[in-house]
Amino acid sequence: MVTREQEALAAAVAKAERPSWRSIWSALADVPDPEIPVLSVLDLGVVRGAEWDPVEPEVLVVRVTPTYSGCPATEVIIETVRQALADIGVRNARIETMLSPPWSSSWLSAHAQRRLSEYGIAPPGSATIGAPVTIDVRGLAPLRNRSLVPCPRCGSTRTELVAPFGSTACKAQYRCADCLEPFDFFKPI
Amino acid sequence: MDRDPLLFEYLLRLGDSPLILAQRLGEWIGRGPVLEEELGNANVALDLLGQARMWLSYAGEVEARYAPRPRDEDALAFLRDAPQFRNLLLVEQPNGHYGDTLMRQLLFDAWHLLVLQALTHSHDERIAGIAAKSAKEATYHVERSGDWVIRLGDGTDDSHARMQASLDRLWTYTGEMFMGDDVDASMLELGIGIDLAALRAPWRERIAHVLEEATLAAPAEDAFMQGGKGRGGKQGVHTEHLGHLVPEMQFLQRAYPGAQW
């Protein structure tokens, strides 16, 4: 039979063996988004919080929220987070998915927005309302792009929306009328 | 009837329409008219599939409260037969040409966004949470499908004529989107569900706005095919097309039960 003293002792041992918060956050800061590797899961705001389970002291509960409902990166992120925590000695991590509040691109820090821009993706905060350039494809009515997105390469605002969805759900495809380069725009959501 | 079986039924309705539409859009993969649309279609399908998973997971948890053998999201998607699906008739209609697909998408997206926005006020926190997340995505969906209907409607003589024909045919399946039945009434009374009839006016307004820019003529308001209460997709009375879609969607789980990857 396990006495109350033995239980308390086991809990104390489990607590003593926990990695520090500093090492936990630094491990999470090194987990990249699989599709936009210049951003970490912390930059993106996908990891919402972490705490030691009050009942099972050796279990670290990590709460994550998906960017888009069907984003295939979510499962990769969960596995990578688990592995990164295991590498610093968190043997037992429970990853919980939360939906509320829904993920927002406004959670990207100024630092993350700058990193995106340097990577060649126009960040969500860069768009302004203005008269957009329109393109005419074989006599079809132009796409109604509603925002003015500066080109992340040359800074020109003479850019045009090519398609509202890009290589991933979170990005739209644009083209710069000055440097003629195509680029992705991380959509505000 | 107890609350939970009704809630389960309601959640199937919410999840099955995005599930079946995602499957339809998936049929375009590798066959898109241009690369940008290939990507757009696939991304919309992924959003819808993700939303369907959230609804059906919750449905499975609710079923576990009262059923001896509850089903998870996979069992609900892959092991029900066509008459057990609760999706709208509109979303099971074949893809047709690309304009047909986009017209179907517009009619659905405009309705879907209104449903999701209304559900964010649900007293069921889980439903409100899924709806708030999905509504953000649906906002982009309806912009894309609306833009394309305008481009093709207000396009060449040929594209205009084809879009008008798409609209006239698909419109006949939109009636049931605004018809509530006993399940809807129970959920509305509990503060969980929404009043579908109240969505008709804002839906028509949004569609009318797009059709006007697209130079397309709106069909008569009551040009619907559904026979009335209890006779549509959400009651499991489907068009023949669902009977072809479901076996293809479920092939792997039927041929190799329990297969995982």
User: Which residues pair with residue A163 across a beta bridge?
Assistant: A173
Residue B215 domain flag: yes
User: Which residues pair with residue A184 across a beta bridge?
Assistant: A121, A173
Residue B34 domain flag: yes
- For chain A, helix (H) and strand (E) counts, in that order, are 5, 7
Residue B169 domain flag: yes
A143 at B interface, C-beta within 8 A: yes
Contact check, Cβ <8 Å, A163/B39: yes
3-state DSSP helix/strand/coil % of chain A, to nearest 5:
30, 20, 50
Residue B171 domain flag: yes
Q: What is the pLDDT of residue B61?
A: 97
Q: How many domains does chain B have?
A: 1
A9 at B interface, C-beta within 8 A: no
Residue B261 domain flag: no
Of A69, A99, A142, the CB nearest to B47: A69
CA distance A160 to A150: 10
Q: What is the pLDDT of residue B176?
A: 92
- Is residue A184 within 8 A of residue A151, CB to CB? The reply is no
Q: What is the pLDDT of residue B11?
A: 98
CA distance B147 to A145: 9
pLDDT digits (tens, 9 = 90+) for A89-126: 998 999 999 999 999 998 988 889 999 999 999 998 77
Rounded alpha-carbon distances, angstroms, from residue B226 to A172, B28, B166, B176, B190? 38, 28, 18, 7, 27
Pairing mode of beta strands A47-52, A92-97: unpaired
CA distance A103 to B193: 24
Contact check, Cβ <8 Å, B129/A102: yes
Q: What is the pLDDT of residue A128?
A: 67
Give the structural domain span for B198: 3-255
Residue B92 domain flag: yes
Q: How does pLDDT run along chain B (261 residues), one tens digit per residue?
A: 689 999 999 999 999 999 999 999 999 999 999 998 999 999 999 999 999 999 999 999 999 999 999 999 999 999 999 999 999 999 999 999 999 999 999 999 999 999 999 999 999 999 999 999 999 999 999 999 999 999 999 999 999 999 999 999 999 999 999 999 999 999 999 999 999 999 999 999 999 999 999 999 999 877 776 655 668 999 999 999 999 999 999 999 999 998 887
Residues 6 or more apart whose Cβ sits within 8 Å of residue B139? A189, B113
Domains identified in chain A and CATH numbers: 4-103 (3.30.300.130), 106-186 (no CATH)
Q: What is the pLDDT of residue A12?
A: 77
Residue B260 domain flag: no
Q: Which two tokens stand for residue B173?
A: 């399946």
Question: pLDDT band at A148, cuts 50/70/90?
Answer: confident
Domain holding B124: CATH number? Answer: 1.20.1260.10
A173 at B interface, C-beta within 8 A: yes
What's the complex ipTM?
0.82
Of B40, B46, B125, the CB nearest to A163: B40
Q: Helix B125-153 vs helix B35-63: angle between axes, to the nearest 10 degrees? A: 160
**CB atoms closer than 10 angstroms to residue A23:** 14
Q: What is the pLDDT of residue A137?
A: 44
Smallest CA–CA distance, residue B75 to chain A, in Å, is 19
CA distance A126 to A118: 13
Q: Which two tokens stand for residue A20?
A: 């520090």
Scan residues 89-128 of A and list those with Cβ closer than 8 Å to B: 99-103
Helix (H) or strand (E) holding A163: strand A159-163
3-state DSSP helix/strand/coil % of chain B, to nearest 5:
70, 0, 30
Q: 0.80 cut: is pTM over it?
A: yes
Question: pLDDT band at A189, cuts 50/70/90?
Answer: confident
Instruction: Provide mean pLDDT across the span A29-50.
Output: 91
**CB atoms closer than 10 angstroms to residue B19:** 26
Higher pLDDT: A140 or A122? It is A122
Q: What is the pLDDT of residue B227?
A: 54
Chain A residues whose CB is inside 8 A of the B48 CB are 70
Chain B residues whose CB is inside 8 A of the A102 CB are 129, 132-133, 136
Question: pLDDT band at A134, cuts 50/70/90?
Answer: very low
Q: Helix B98-119 vs helix B3-26: angle between axes, to the nearest 10 degrees? A: 150
Smallest CA–CA distance, residue A184 to chain B, in Å, is 12
Residues 6 or more apart whose Cβ sits within 8 Å of residue B178? B196, B197, B199, B200, B203
Higher pLDDT: B204 or A14? It is B204
User: Which residues pair with residue A93 across a beta bridge?
Assistant: A60
Residue B119 domain flag: yes
